[in-house]
A and B are shown apart, each in its own frame.
Chain A
Amino acid sequence: MKSTGKVTGIVSNLVSVETDGPVSQNELCYVTSGDTRLMAEVIKVTGKTASIQVFESTRGLKNGNPVEFEGKMLEATLGPGLLSSCYDGLQNDLTTMTGVFLKKGEYTSPLDHSRLWDFTPIAKPGDKVIAADWLGEVKEGWLPHKIMVPFAFEGEYTVKSVAPAGQYNIDNVIAVLTDGKGEDVNVTMTQKWPVKVAIKGYREKPRPSRIMETGVRVIDTLDPIAEGGTGFIPGPFGCGKTVLQHAIAKQGDAQVIVMAACGERANEVVEIFTEFPELIDPHTGRHLMERTTIICNTSNMPVAAREASVYTAMTICEYYRAMGLKVLLLADSTSRWAQALREMSNRMEELPGADAFPVDLSAIISSFYARAGMVVLNNGQTGSVTFIGTVSPAGGNLKEPVTESTKKAARCFYALEQNRADKKRYPAVNPIDSYSKYLEYPEIQKYLSDTVEPHWVEMVEKAKNIIRRGKEANEQINILGDDGVPMSYHELFWKSELIDFIILQQDAFDPVDSLTPMDRQKYMLDLVLGICDKEFTFEDYEKCRDAFKELINVLKQMNYSEFKSENFNKYRTELDVMLETLVPEIEAA
């Protein structure tokens, strides 16, 4: 029997409830106030009093209001139709809600129950199956959406029957399984899973061994993220966090993209609604929206549901990973989620950690990042969840608890820098502070050698080294003046500027430049490093500056032209002529 209770205290959205029976941590419950039922979650229990966080405004709630406990945790509903949906943090479908304003206590179904899907069976009667094994599939857009043995099923089952190919809705029984005791269970196309628990149902979780291409040069070339890897993007406001994330969402080489807009601006989500249905996925030629699910809990939506939103998003990702798909999760921004934790911890009068954040912040963040990863499924196929989160450090200062905790958990670090943003050097990723731990993985090094070119990692290191030394040279020039340093300082500085302008900077709004495939990135890095290898001997620093400005201009035109098109080749020839006049002239002298 379900437990019930009565409200005994209210501070903002923290409500204490006196219970009449057992309740469990994180159990879901509903508070009834007048004719609305508000969803809430148990976050602490002391004796007979449960502290619950209500996911909506508690205005009008009274002591004595009845509470019903549900006997389960907050769950995500999983099944075909998740893609191209737009949910709030609790997975209510925002598109089917009535009225302009969000109504308190209005909950909508995440999936369309009447829609028919073309089902094709995979399993046969007599097959032995366990949780997450594939029973059949439906076409969701162009993706094969596997219908699986529900993750919650324990032990081995025997397939008794599978529905024949045909059209079914998500509630139709598509298979009957017999458990070890000989009892039959029905399986439909939909199942539920508690969002705060990681979906297992795979054989093993190996180290990532492949790169996930994003088309963004400063990521792919300099600090690549692995498929199944984790990364984070901290940056002060106005540095282009959101533009960079949207670029990755548009171009990332993934089959499914889940975007969690957590505590950010509503107009940014509107931008996704407006643009994504029009845009084409560069890898498949299909509409971007077909592979995208949006979970949005914008900054003015209930704070407690912010936390739920990132977990709901991750659960959907893990569900698609179990189908053997490449999934990318983007969360903007995890700082807002941490702030939601802080508000709650504060109301519960817990002893605070640094900057009043809860002391277990680090642990919460790292266990969340740990849910990403590449997995080998029961049938030997692989699936992956790659996770990139943004962090909004207070005051742009990276020495704050959320950034520091995330740094421990994520393997790639893309530091957005105010200074680069002020100079309009976008994406404003600082090439010296940023890193990808994956470059140190032997598997990844081998992968890059095999697929891009031998010694690729050494070349990348070389480019980074030129950037570092160029920065030092520039500092010297600024202190001693243009005439106060040897010519080699100017040359070094301009070589680093060449890499900066041609490899690092990228125009996210230009149709050609915004997306650079790996073969093109290789071509450009080869070309640019080739120029950096040359020994120039300029008469004075002004000649050096002018020559490099011209080189940069031509290379930039190449970046803006279709790869290996007539225009592209024309600029390449122009570049070669320029280099010949610059270098041999000097050799002759």
Chain B
Amino acid sequence: MNNKAFQKIYTQLEGITKATVSLKAKGVSNDELATVDGRLAQVVKTKGDMVTLQIFGGTEAIPTDAEVVFLGKAPTLKVSDQLSGRFFNAYGDPIDGGPAIDGEEREIGGPSVNPYKRRQPSQLIPTGIAGIDLNNTIVSGQKIPFFADPDQPYNNVMAQVALRADVDKIILGGMGLSNDDYLYFRHEFENAGALDKIISFVNTTEEPPVERLLIPDMALTAAEYFAVDKNEKVLVLLTDMTLYADALSIVSNRMDQIPSKDSMPGSLYSDLAKIYEKAVQLPDGGSITIIAVTTLNDGDITHAIPDNTGYITEGQLYLRADPDSGKIIIDPFRSLSRLKQLVIGKQTREDHNQVMNTGVRLYADAQNAKTKLENGFDLSDYDLRCLDFAKEYATRLLAIDVNITIDEMLDTAWELFGKYFTKAETGIKQSLIEKYWRS
């Protein structure tokens, strides 16, 4: 961050809060960056001569005579192919000991794609996890979060998904990652030998929370460079968006805004949409797919963060611990991929749709049988078979540690149908039964 010559330096702060400082200054533009006592800050409000700056690193120990220098630009990221394989902090500075990046300087949080120029997403992204590929297929250009309780291994699942996905670039935006998780991602990426296609922007729990607000825009600016300029397929991983939203509420609180539901700022929906809507299928073949993590508080999806997220994203993937199989599974009932119909049966085998629906329906029958059992009613033969089926279905297909092709998933499902049910009980179309039934 080099200062331009003859820049005016201000040294008189008029007010300091936990996240902001205010001072008298002239000729300042909205969203402009500044440094306050060497820390990066951004203009969030001007009123007459009074300018309010949000300090990303927090205001601890900032004196009233701190040096304030306005940088005359909004936050930027230098983009070029040199980004590949590198790790950066929230400001886009390298944290892996490597050299600085040469490239074109771009403002982050740039404009939206003209909806008319978008294309309908149509390319399947296989992950090897049947809970996703079979039941909730992901399509390039889609945006979908994992809804998970904090104790579930969502970061591991996401790392697996990313490394298996057939994409040109993977961009990780880590917000409030624990240092252990950061090192885990780094280790996984290095081990997979795929480092050259991975770019990471990381804010760990050791760093100030307000810095997190820059992470998604940094990651997506890099993503847009590769998707728009280079026509590449880019997968963006954002974890954990709940911590991002928490940082939003901290800032809005310090600015005396009136909170809406769950102490979140009234603009939460728009703030999240601005990030998620960067997912796009472009006309020239490039695409940005976003897989995010939203941690839940004890499974509560009516909280403002998951609720607003659900209205924005194209479905959600629920992680749940299944006591019967002892595995973490992708819940087939509450998970949904809104774009799956665009590829199911078109880029996958003809029986995909029916096999998917039948599997989930029989799994639902097993849940009913379980409820009956718990309420002390007798179980029929069909109920018992459903329960056995459910256990094997969860272990061999729903569990997150599965890694097989979609054809293998379909074959496994047929095998289970044949093992536990009659043809009529599955209710599958006759022509498919004739072709695929295994007993």
**A94-B116, A346-B257 known; A299 vs B273 contact (CB < 8 Å):** yes
A300 adjacent to B114 (CB under 8 Å): no
Chain B neighbourhood of A33, CB < 8 A: 29
Closest to B49 in A: A63
Binding-face segment, B118-126, B193-201, B208-216: B118-126
The size bracket of the interface on A is 35 or more
A343 adjacent to B47 (CB under 8 Å): no
**A16-B47, A97-B116, A101-B110 known; A265 vs B314 contact (CB < 8 Å):** yes
The answer to the question of B307 belonging to the interface, with a C-beta cut-off of 8 Å to chain A, is yes
B45 adjacent to A265 (CB under 8 Å): no
A339 adjacent to B270 (CB under 8 Å): yes
A339 adjacent to B266 (CB under 8 Å): yes
**A342-B260, A356-B259 known; A267 vs B314 contact (CB < 8 Å):** yes
The answer to the question of B6 belonging to the interface, with a C-beta cut-off of 8 Å to chain A, is no
The answer to the question of A386 belonging to the interface, with a C-beta cut-off of 8 Å to chain B, is no
Our pick among A103, A357, A394 for the contact of B307 (Cβ within 8 Å) is: A394
A395 adjacent to B115 (CB under 8 Å): no
**A100-B113, A238-B336, A265-B314 known; A60 vs B118 contact (CB < 8 Å):** no
Binding-face segment, A7-15, A162-170, A201-209, A370-378: A7-15
B261 adjacent to A394 (CB under 8 Å): yes
The answer to the question of B274 belonging to the interface, with a C-beta cut-off of 8 Å to chain A, is yes
**A10-B30, A346-B257, A346-B266 known; A273 vs B116 contact (CB < 8 Å):** yes
A298 adjacent to B115 (CB under 8 Å): yes
B260 adjacent to A97 (CB under 8 Å): no
B255-276 toward A: CB 8 Å interface, digit per residue (1/0)?
A: 0011111000011011001100
The answer to the question of B44 belonging to the interface, with a C-beta cut-off of 8 Å to chain A, is yes
B31 adjacent to A59 (CB under 8 Å): yes
Instruction: Looking at the assembled complex, report how far the CB atom of A68 sits from the nearest CB atom of chain B, in whole angstroms.
Output: 19
B115 adjacent to A266 (CB under 8 Å): yes
Chain B neighbourhood of A63, CB < 8 A: 26-28, 46, 48-49
Chain B neighbourhood of A336, CB < 8 A: 269
Cα(A429)–Cα(B307), bound, Å = 20
Cα(A263)–Cα(B308), bound, Å = 12
Instruction: Looking at the assembled complex, report how far the CB atom of A521 sits from the nearest CB atom of chain B, in whole angstroms.
Output: 27
Of B26, B258, B315, B377, chain A has the most CB atoms within 10 Å of the CB of: B258
The answer to the question of A396 belonging to the interface, with a C-beta cut-off of 8 Å to chain B, is yes
Our pick among B48, B283, B314 for the contact of A100 (Cβ within 8 Å) is: B283
B111 adjacent to A102 (CB under 8 Å): yes
Chain B neighbourhood of A274, CB < 8 A: 120
B81-109 toward A: CB 8 Å interface, digit per residue (1/0)?
A: 00000000000000000000000000101
A299 adjacent to B47 (CB under 8 Å): no
Give residues 83-107 of A contacting B (CB, 8 Å): 86, 94-95, 97, 99-104
The answer to the question of B112 belonging to the interface, with a C-beta cut-off of 8 Å to chain A, is yes
Our pick among A59, A299, A396 for the contact of B312 (Cβ within 8 Å) is: A299
Instruction: Looking at the assembled complex, report how far the CB atom of B210 sits from the nearest CB atom of chain A, in whole angstroms.
Output: 17
The answer to the question of B339 belonging to the interface, with a C-beta cut-off of 8 Å to chain A, is yes
Our pick among B29, B270, B302, B336 for the contact of A60 (Cβ within 8 Å) is: B29
Chain A neighbourhood of B359, CB < 8 A: none
Closest to A57 in B: B111
The answer to the question of B188 belonging to the interface, with a C-beta cut-off of 8 Å to chain A, is no
Cα(A482)–Cα(B45), bound, Å = 66
Closest to A340 in B: B270
**A9-B46, A271-B120, A356-B266 known; A62 vs B28 contact (CB < 8 Å):** yes
Interface size in chain B (residues, C-beta < 8 A): 63
Chain B neighbourhood of A59, CB < 8 A: 29-31, 74, 107, 109
A266 adjacent to B119 (CB under 8 Å): no
Chain A neighbourhood of B111, CB < 8 A: 57, 101-104
The answer to the question of B228 belonging to the interface, with a C-beta cut-off of 8 Å to chain A, is yes
B258 adjacent to A352 (CB under 8 Å): yes
Chain A neighbourhood of B28, CB < 8 A: 62-63
Instruction: Looking at the assembled complex, report how far the CB atom of B365 sits from the nearest CB atom of chain A, in whole angstroms.
Output: 12
Q: B interface, by DSSP: helix, strand, loop or mixed?
A: loop
Instruction: Looking at the assembled complex, report how far the CB atom of B111 sits from the nearest CB atom of chain A, in whole angstroms.
Output: 5
B258 adjacent to A395 (CB under 8 Å): no
B31 adjacent to A267 (CB under 8 Å): no
Closest to A269 in B: B115
Cα(A355)–Cα(B107), bound, Å = 34
Chain A neighbourhood of B308, CB < 8 A: 394
Cα(A300)–Cα(B143), bound, Å = 13
Our pick among B109, B121, B269, B334 for the contact of A299 (Cβ within 8 Å) is: B269
Chain B neighbourhood of A422, CB < 8 A: 333-334
Chain B neighbourhood of A102, CB < 8 A: 111-114
Give residues 204-233 of B contacting A (CB, 8 Å): 228
Chain A neighbourhood of B44, CB < 8 A: 11-12
B113 adjacent to A8 (CB under 8 Å): no
Instruction: Looking at the assembled complex, report how far the CB atom of B13 sits from the nearest CB atom of chain A, in whole angstroms.
Output: 19
B116 adjacent to A95 (CB under 8 Å): yes
Instruction: Looking at the assembled complex, report how far the CB atom of B70 sits from the nearest CB atom of chain A, in whole angstroms.
Output: 11
Of A9, A33, A266, A269, chain B has the most CB atoms within 10 Å of the CB of: A266
Closest to B302 in A: A395
Give residues 1-56 of A contacting B (CB, 8 Å): 8-12, 16, 33
Closest to A86 in B: B116
Cα(A355)–Cα(B307), bound, Å = 15
The answer to the question of B174 belonging to the interface, with a C-beta cut-off of 8 Å to chain A, is no
Give residues 289-312 of A contacting B (CB, 8 Å): 296, 298-301, 303
The answer to the question of B299 belonging to the interface, with a C-beta cut-off of 8 Å to chain A, is no
Cα(A95)–Cα(B116), bound, Å = 6
B141 adjacent to A267 (CB under 8 Å): yes
B34-77 toward A: CB 8 Å interface, digit per residue (1/0)?
A: 00000000001111110000000000000000000000001000
The answer to the question of B304 belonging to the interface, with a C-beta cut-off of 8 Å to chain A, is yes
Instruction: Looking at the assembled complex, report how far the CB atom of A371 sits from the nearest CB atom of chain B, in whole angstroms.
Output: 25
The answer to the question of A152 belonging to the interface, with a C-beta cut-off of 8 Å to chain B, is no
A397 adjacent to B267 (CB under 8 Å): no
B120 adjacent to A298 (CB under 8 Å): no
B258 adjacent to A60 (CB under 8 Å): no
Cα(A516)–Cα(B111), bound, Å = 43
A10 adjacent to B266 (CB under 8 Å): no
Chain A neighbourhood of B278, CB < 8 A: 300
The answer to the question of A58 belonging to the interface, with a C-beta cut-off of 8 Å to chain B, is yes
The answer to the question of A577 belonging to the interface, with a C-beta cut-off of 8 Å to chain B, is no
Cα(A396)–Cα(B47), bound, Å = 39
**A60-B31, A101-B112, A298-B115 known; A267 vs B120 contact (CB < 8 Å):** yes
**A100-B117, A101-B114, A355-B261 known; A342 vs B30 contact (CB < 8 Å):** no
The answer to the question of A61 belonging to the interface, with a C-beta cut-off of 8 Å to chain B, is yes
Closest to B275 in A: A300
**A100-B113, A356-B259 known; A300 vs B277 contact (CB < 8 Å):** yes
Chain A neighbourhood of B32, CB < 8 A: 60
Instruction: Looking at the assembled complex, report how far the CB atom of B122 sits from the nearest CB atom of chain A, in whole angstroms.
Output: 10
Chain B neighbourhood of A61, CB < 8 A: 29-30
A267 adjacent to B118 (CB under 8 Å): yes
The answer to the question of A151 belonging to the interface, with a C-beta cut-off of 8 Å to chain B, is no
B277 adjacent to A265 (CB under 8 Å): yes
A236-269 toward B: CB 8 Å interface, digit per residue (1/0)?
A: 1110000000000000000000000001011101
The answer to the question of A270 belonging to the interface, with a C-beta cut-off of 8 Å to chain B, is yes
Our pick among B27, B31, B114, B311 for the contact of A94 (Cβ within 8 Å) is: B114
The answer to the question of B418 belonging to the interface, with a C-beta cut-off of 8 Å to chain A, is no
Chain A neighbourhood of B336, CB < 8 A: 238
Chosen A-B contacts, 22 in total, with CB atoms closer than 8 Å, are: A9-B47, A11-B45, A16-B47, A33-B29, A60-B30, A62-B29, A63-B26, A63-B48, A94-B115, A100-B114, A238-B310, A263-B270, A267-B120, A267-B141, A267-B142, A270-B120, A298-B112, A300-B273, A300-B278, A352-B258, A394-B308, A395-B261
- Since A263-B273, A395-B303 are in contact, a sample of 6 more A-B pairs with Cβ atoms closer than 8 Å, ordered by chain A residue number, is A10-B46, A12-B44, A63-B48, A97-B114, A346-B266, A481-B377
3 nearest interchain CB pairs? A395-B302, A299-B273, A300-B277
Q: Which residues of B contact A (CB under 8 A)?
A: 26-32, 44-49, 74, 107, 109-121, 141-142, 228, 257-261, 266-267, 269-270, 273-274, 277-278, 280, 282-283, 302-304, 307-308, 310-312, 314-315, 333-334, 336, 339, 341, 377
